[in-house]
Amino acid sequence: MAPTPFEHGLALAWSDGALSRNGAIMLEKLQTKLELSDSQRAAQEEAWLALLSVNERRSFGDGDTILNEWLTALDDATSLGDSVRSMGRATLDLGLSKSTWNEAMAFADGLGLSAPLAEGVWMEVATEELTGWPPALDPLAVILGLVISIGSVQEKNGIEYGEGAMIVNITHPEATTSALSWMPDLLPLAGNGCSWGWRDGDELTSEIPQGGLVFNNSVILAWIRRFVSMRLLRGEEGLDGLPEGVVLMPSSSALKSDTDGMIISMIVDLGESGLVKPWAKVSVDGVPEIIPAPGGLADNWLRIHDALAKLLINALETLPRHLLLASGLQTEFTNLNREGDWMIYDLVE
Q: On the CB side of 279, how many CA atoms lie within 13 Å of its CA?
A: 12
What total number of domains does the chain contain?
3
pLDDT digits (tens, 9 = 90+) for 23-76: 788 888 888 888 888 888 888 888 777 665 444 433 344 566 777 777 877 777
Query: Do 177 and 322 fall into the same domain?
Result: yes
Residue 159 lies in a domain: no
Model confidence at 150, in pLDDT bands (50, 70, 90)? Answer: very low
Do 173 and 317 lie in one domain? The reply is yes
Q: Are residues 317 and 193 in the same domain?
A: yes
Is residue 204 domain-shared with residue 277, that is, in the same domain? Answer: yes
Is the C-alpha dihedral spanning 314, 319, 325, 329 positive or negative?
negative
Instruction: Please provide the average confidence, as pLDDT, over all residues in the chain.
Output: 79
| CA separation for the pair 132, 130 (Å, rounded) | 6
pLDDT of residue 233: 66
Q: What is the mean pLDDT of residues 78-88?
A: 82
pLDDT at 146 > cutoff 80:
no
Q: Whole-model pTM?
A: 0.56
- Both 175 and 145 in one domain: the answer is no
The CA radius of gyration of the chain, in Å to the nearest whole number, is 24
Q: What is the pLDDT of residue 126?
A: 58
- What range does the domain containing 179 cover? 168-348
The answer on 223 and 86 residing in a single domain is no
**Residue percentage of the chain with pLDDT more than 70:** 80
User: 108 and 233: one domain?
Assistant: no
Rounded (5°) CA angle 49-50-52: 60
pLDDT of res. 142: 72
Residue 43: per-residue pLDDT:
87
Q: How far apart are CA 18 and CA 60, in angstroms?
A: 8
**Are 64 and 93 in a shared domain?**
no
Is 216 a domain residue? Answer: yes
> Would you say residue 163 lies in a domain?
no
- Tens digits of per-residue pLDDT, 231-265? 776 666 667 677 777 788 888 889 998 888 899 99
How high is the pLDDT of residue 130? Answer: 72
Contacts of 209 (CB under 8 A, 6+ apart): 339, 342, 344
Residue 264 inside a domain? The answer is: yes
Q: Which class for 279: exposed (0-12), middle (13-18), buried (19 or more C-beta within 10 A)?
A: middle
Instruction: Specify whether 34 is located in the same domain as 88.
Output: no
Residues 304, 191 share a domain: yes
**Are 196 and 184 part of one and the same domain?**
yes
Which position has the higher pLDDT, 175 or 135?
A: 175
Looking at the domain assignment, is residue 268 inside a domain?
Answer: yes
